Structure 1
Amino acid sequence: MPELPEQSENVPHDSPAARTGLLEGSGWEGRLFSAGRAEPGGGTADAVAPATGRSLGRVALASIEDVAAAAATAARAQVEWAATGPERRAAVLRRAGELFEAHADEIGSWIVSEAGSIPPKAGLETHVAAAECFEASALPTLPQGDVLASNEPRWSFARRRPVGVASVIAPFNFPLILSIRAVAPALALGNAVLLKPDPRTAVCGGVVLARVFEEAGLPEGLLHVLPGGADVGQAAVVDPHVGVVAFTGSTAAGRAVGRLAGEHLIKVSLELGGNNALVVLPGVDVAAAASAAAFGSFMHSGQICMTTGRHLVHESIADEYVAALAEKARHLPVGDPATEQVALGPIIDATQYDRIRTIVDDAVAAGATLEAGGPREGLFYGPTVLSGVAPDNPAWTQEIFGPVAPVTTFSTLDEAAALVNDSEYGLSVGILGDVGQAMALADRIDSGKIHINEQTVSDEAQAPFGGVKASGNGTRIGGPTANVELFTETQWLTVRPDIAPYPF
C-alpha cells in the first residue's frame, strides 16, 4: 500500500481552521444531497468524534421514501449521462481527483475527527481517493466490447452498456476509500449512484463525496448520498431502479444483502470480512517481521477487513517473535489523533469496543497468554498480543476487528497451509521469509490476495480487490477489468445489410 504520509505539524486537525473550503460555508449541515430535497426524511443526527464524544455537526439522515425518490431521479438522469461523450465524463473524474488533492487537509481533518483515524491514515485515504478518480477517468475511453465471429452473414458484437443505477453501501473504517472506489468507476462508466455511507462516518464517507462531485461539475441527479440505518440500506438494494449493488461490510450484513439481491435478481458485489493470516517462516529477520506484523494488526486499531488477525510463527523463532511484537505493542502510543501524535486512535463505538474486550477475555480464559495490551479508558484499546492461542480459541476463529495479535506456532509448511486454510474467511494472507518457501506455500493457500514479504493490509486503485469463502461472493472491485465487469452489462448486437430470410 502507499507509504503513510507524515503527520502535519500545522493547525490541530480538530480546529475550525483545519476545516475550511470544501465544507465550510457550503451549507452541508442538515442537508440531504439527493434529488434537491431540502428536508431529510430521516431527520438529523450528530456527527460524533469517537475520541471525545463531541459533536462535529449535524448530518441529514435519509428515509425509505428518500431512497425511492433518489432512485427515480437517478434513473432519469442516468440516461443522458450514459449518452454523454467519454471525454466529458473523464474530465469530471479528473477534476474530482484534483479536488481531493486540493482539499486533502480539510477532508483529512474530518477523517481524523469523525473516523478516529491517525493523520497519516487520513492522508492515505485522500491520496487513494484521488488515485481512484484518476484511474476511473480512463474507463470511459476503454474499448466498449468485442467483434465476434458469426456463422451468419452479419456483423456480431458484444458491447458493454452501463448497468443504470448503482447502489454503493460503505462502512465506517475507511469511509472515503471504501465509498469512492465504487462511486468513481460507476460514474465513469455512465451510471448514476446511490451512496449509503455508514451514519457514524456520514461526513467523510458521504458529504465529502457529494461536495467534491458538485464542484467537479457532475450533472445534478447522478449522485445521491443517503446516510441511514439498515432500513435505508435495504431500500437501496431492492428498489426496482437499481441494477447493481456494491456492498462492503461485515460477513453477517453481507449475507443479508446477498439474500435480498438474490430475491430481487439484482447483480451484487459483496466485499466482506476477513480473519487474515500472517505466516512467519524460519530464518526470517525477526525485527523486520515484528515491525510488519505490528502494522498489520494495529493499523487503525485493527479496524480493517485486511487486518492481520492470525500470526502463524515457526516454532524455532516463536519466543523471539512474541517478545519483539509485544515490545512493539507496549511502546505504541494510544490517544486522540486530533490532538496528540499517536499510533492508535479510538475504537469507533462502545459496541465494537465491548466486543473486542469480550473476545480477549474469553481468549485468556481459554488458555491464551496476554503478553501486552488490553483496555484503556474511554473507547481506547491498547495494542494487544496473545500467545499460546489454540486453533479453537475465540481469538483465533473470530474476526475481532480490533488491535489484537493472536499468535500460534507451526513446524512444517504442511501444518502452516492447513492452519491458514482452516478458516471460514479467505481475504488476505501475508508470508514473511524465504521466497522459495513462500511461493511453495502460496500455491496451497485459498485467499483472494497473497503478499510475500508484506503484511496483509494492502490495496491499490488499479488492482482487483476481493476475497473467497466468507470474505466475498467471488466478485472483484478495482482495476479496469473488474470495474467494467461490475458496473456494466454485456449486450449482444448483430447487424445485417438486409432483412434476413426466414422460412415462415
Structure 2
Amino acid sequence: MNAQLQMGPKAWSEALFTGEWSKATNVLRVTEPATGEELACVGRASADDIRKSAAIARNAQKSWAAMPLLERAAVFRRAAQITERRTPELLEWIVRETGAVPPKAMFEISSVINHMHEAAAMLTQPKGLLLPYDGSGLSIARRIPLGVVGVISPFNFPLLLSSRAMTPALACGNAVILKPDQRTPVVGGFLHAEIFAEAGLPAGVLCVMPGDAEAGEALVTDSAVRMISFTGSTAVGRRVGELAGKHLKKVALELGGKNSLIILDDADLDLAVKSGAWASWLHQGQICMSAGRHLVHERVVDEYVARMSEKARQLPVGNPFTEQVALGPLISDVQARKVNSLLNDSLAQGAKLHAGGESKGVFFPATVISDVMPGMRAFEEEIFGPIVSVTSFSSDDEAVALANDTDYGLSAGIITRSVSRGKAIADQLRVGLVHVNDQTVNDDGFMPMGGQGSSGNGSRHGGPANLEEFTQWQWLTIKDSPPPYPL
C-alpha cells in the first residue's frame, strides 16, 4: 500500500452531487479513525438540499427508465470496469475512512463489482407474467419502477452496503438519492457518484446527499421519494419505519442483530475457534451479522474459551494503513466508550475476562469473556465491538432457547459434525439467515439478505429479492375495443 493516499483537491470538496457537483452551504469534515487526521471536507445536505435533489431525481427517472435496456446494462458493465481499474485507490479510501484492514476492503470492492454485473444482468430478465384471460385481449402482470428510491447506508461497510441497494434500484429503472453515513461519505457515496458519472449514468439519476438526521427525515418524508432502503441501527430504523409508514411509503429495514454461534459438543474445535474469531473480530465486530453470543456446550466450553483466548492474544491491533494488523480502530471515540461500558458492566455483573480488555482510545483488542448469563449487557445488547461473549449450555434444546432469547432475528451459525443435528437446530431458530457448519457473518449478493423481529421488517436485498424489492406490480389489460357496458 502506498505510504500516503493521494488526497489532493477533489470534485466533492465542500460539494454535493446531483449529476453535477455543486458547492454546499454546509460542510462535513471527514476524519481518519486511526489518527484523527482530516481526510476530506465535503458537502453536508440540508433538508432543502434533499428537496431539490428529489425533484431532480424525479425528473431524471422517467428518461432513465425509458432508455433501451441494453444501453442501461452497459452503464453497469462500464461501472464494474471502472471500479476494477480504481481498486488501489478505493482500497486506500476504505482503509483510511473506515478503519478496515486491507483484506476486508478488498472484499467490499469485489462484492461491489459483482453487484454491478448482477445489475446489468437484471435488465434482460423477465419482468412479469401473462395472466389467464377470457376474450380476445391480453392480461399482463408486470413489474414497473417505483420512481425515486432513497438509500440510507451505514459506516461499517459503506461501499458495499450503499451498492447493495443502489445498484439493483437503478437497474429496476428507479432514480436513487443516496445518503451515506456522515462518518463515511466518500466511500459510502462520492466514490459511487464518480464511478457512475464516468460510466455514463444520466445526470440526476443518482444524487449523493450525506447529512444528519434532518437530511434523513427530509428524505423519508419527501413526496417525490416512493421507497426508503435503510441499513443501520434498530433504534433509528424504528423512526425511519414510523415516518415511512405515516407517508405510505414502501420501506426496507435491515437493522441490528444479536446473533448466536452455537458450538455443539461434537464440533471440531480447531474449526470452531477459527469460525468464532471471524464471527466476532472481523472489522472489530462492527457488523450487524457479528456473533454477539458464543453458545458453547458445557463439555467443551473450557477448552473453547482457552483456545479463543490464546488466539485473541496473537492478534495485533493498530493503524491498518501503516501497520500489519488484524484489527483496526473502532469508528469513533463514542463507539469505543459504548463498548467499554458494555464490557465493564458485564464484568461487574459476574462475567469473567480471559483476554483483551478495555480499549486504548479507539483501538480495542480482541477480547474474550465467559460465564455470560441472560440479563447481562453482553448477552442482551448488540455489542458492535470485538468481544467474544461465551455462554454455556447443556442440551440442544437449551441452545435453541438461548439463541431465541432476543427480539433480534438476523443470523446464526451452528458448528457440529452431525449435519442432521445441525439442521434440526436450524429449523427452530427465528432468524433470517442460518448456517450449519459456518459462522454468522456471511454475505453474498446473489441471495436474499435480511432479518426478522428487531433485525428488520422482513424485507430482503440480493438475488431474486431485488426485483420484488425495488419494483411494484402493475396489471395491464389490452383489448381491441372497449366492451359494450350496459350503463
**TM class, shorter-chain normalised?**
over 0.9
Alignment of 1:89-104 (within 5 A): 89-104=72-87
Q: 1:262 corresponds to which letter in structure 2? A: G
Partner of residue 475 from structure 1, selected from 436, 453, 459 = 459
Q: Secondary structure at the match of 2:388?
A: strand
Partner of residue 412 from structure 1, selected from 395, 416, 425 = 395
Q: 1:33 corresponds to which letter in structure 2? A: F
Contact 2:336 2:359 survives alignment (8 Å): no
Distance in 2, Cα, partners of 1:431 & 1:387:
19
For each residue in 1:10-57, what CA deviation from the matched residue of structure 2 results, as whole angstroms up to 9, or x when unmatched?
A: 423xx135x6xxxx665221221125462213x112210010000112
Contact 1:35 1:70 survives alignment (8 Å): no
Q: Secondary structure at the match of 1:50?
A: coil
Contact 1:119 1:337 survives alignment (8 Å): yes
Partner of residue 28 from structure 1, selected from 12, 21, 35 = 12
Residue number in structure 2 paired with 1:246:
229
Distance in 1, Cα, partners of 2:363 & 2:395:
38
Residue 284 of structure 1 deviates from its aligned partner by 1.2
For each residue in 1:272-301, what CA deviation from the matched residue of structure 2 results, as whole angstroms up to 9, or x when unmatched?
A: 000100000112111211111011000000
Contact 1:166 1:244 survives alignment (8 Å): yes
Residue number in structure 1 paired with 2:384:
401
Residue number in structure 2 paired with 1:261:
244
1:40 aligns with 2:24: yes
Alignment of 1:120-135 (within 5 A): 120-135=103-118
Q: Secondary structure at the match of 1:242?
A: coil
Residue number in structure 2 paired with 1:487:
470
Q: Secondary structure at the match of 2:42?
A: strand
Partner of residue 439 from structure 1, selected from 414, 418, 423 = 423
Q: Secondary structure at the match of 1:342?
A: coil
Residue 430 of structure 1 deviates from its aligned partner by 0.4
Partner of residue 216 from structure 2, selected from 233, 245, 248 = 233
Q: Secondary structure at the match of 2:472?
A: strand
CA RMSD across the alignment = 1.2
Q: 1:112 corresponds to which letter in structure 2? A: V
In 2 relative to 1, CA 152–238 (structure 1 residues): closer, same or farther, beyond 3 Å?
farther
Residue number in structure 1 paired with 2:267:
284
Residue number in structure 2 paired with 1:430:
413
Q: 2:2 corresponds to which letter in structure 1? A: V
Residue number in structure 2 paired with 1:270:
253
Residue 351 of structure 1 deviates from its aligned partner by 1.3
1:16 aligns with 2:8: no
Distance in 2, Cα, partners of 1:27 & 1:487:
30
Residue 152 of structure 1 deviates from its aligned partner by 5.2
Residue number in structure 1 paired with 2:131:
148
Sequence identity of aligned pairs in percent? Answer: 49
Contact 1:35 1:69 survives alignment (8 Å): no
Residue number in structure 1 paired with 2:280:
297
Residue 150 of structure 1 deviates from its aligned partner by 2.8
Alignment of 1:275-354 (within 5 A): 275-354=258-337
Q: Secondary structure at the match of 1:133?
A: helix
Distance in 2, Cα, partners of 1:94 & 1:35:
19
Distance in 2, Cα, partners of 1:439 & 1:360:
33
For each residue in 1:452-492, what CA deviation from the matched residue of structure 2 results, as whole angstroms up to 9, or x when unmatched?
A: 1111001011111000111000010011x211111111100
Partner of residue 436 from structure 2, selected from 443, 452, 463 = 452
Q: Secondary structure at the match of 1:138?
A: helix
1:464 aligns with 2:451: no
Residue 154 of structure 1 deviates from its aligned partner by 2.9
Residue number in structure 2 paired with 1:63:
46
Contact 2:18 2:203 survives alignment (8 Å): no
Distance in 1, Cα, partners of 2:107 & 2:471:
29
For each residue in 1:265-324, what CA deviation from the matched residue of structure 2 results, as whole angstroms up to 9, or x when unmatched?
A: 000000000010000011211121111101100000000000011001011101000000
Distance in 2, Cα, partners of 1:296 & 1:488:
34
Runs of 5+ unmatched residues, structure 1: 1-9
Distance in 1, Cα, partners of 2:215 & 2:451:
26
Distance in 2, Cα, partners of 1:164 & 1:63:
22
Residue number in structure 2 paired with 1:4:
none
Distance in 2, Cα, partners of 1:314 & 1:71:
53
What's the TM-score once normalised by structure 2's chain length? Answer: 0.98
Distance in 1, Cα, partners of 2:327 & 2:129:
49
Q: 1:106 corresponds to which letter in structure 2? A: E
Contact 1:146 1:158 survives alignment (8 Å): yes
1:160 aligns with 2:143: yes
Q: 1:460 corresponds to which letter in structure 2? A: D
Contact 1:96 1:212 survives alignment (8 Å): yes
Residue number in structure 2 paired with 1:217:
200
Contact 2:112 2:160 survives alignment (8 Å): yes
Q: 2:273 corresponds to which letter in structure 1? A: A
Q: 1:30 corresponds to which letter in structure 2? A: E
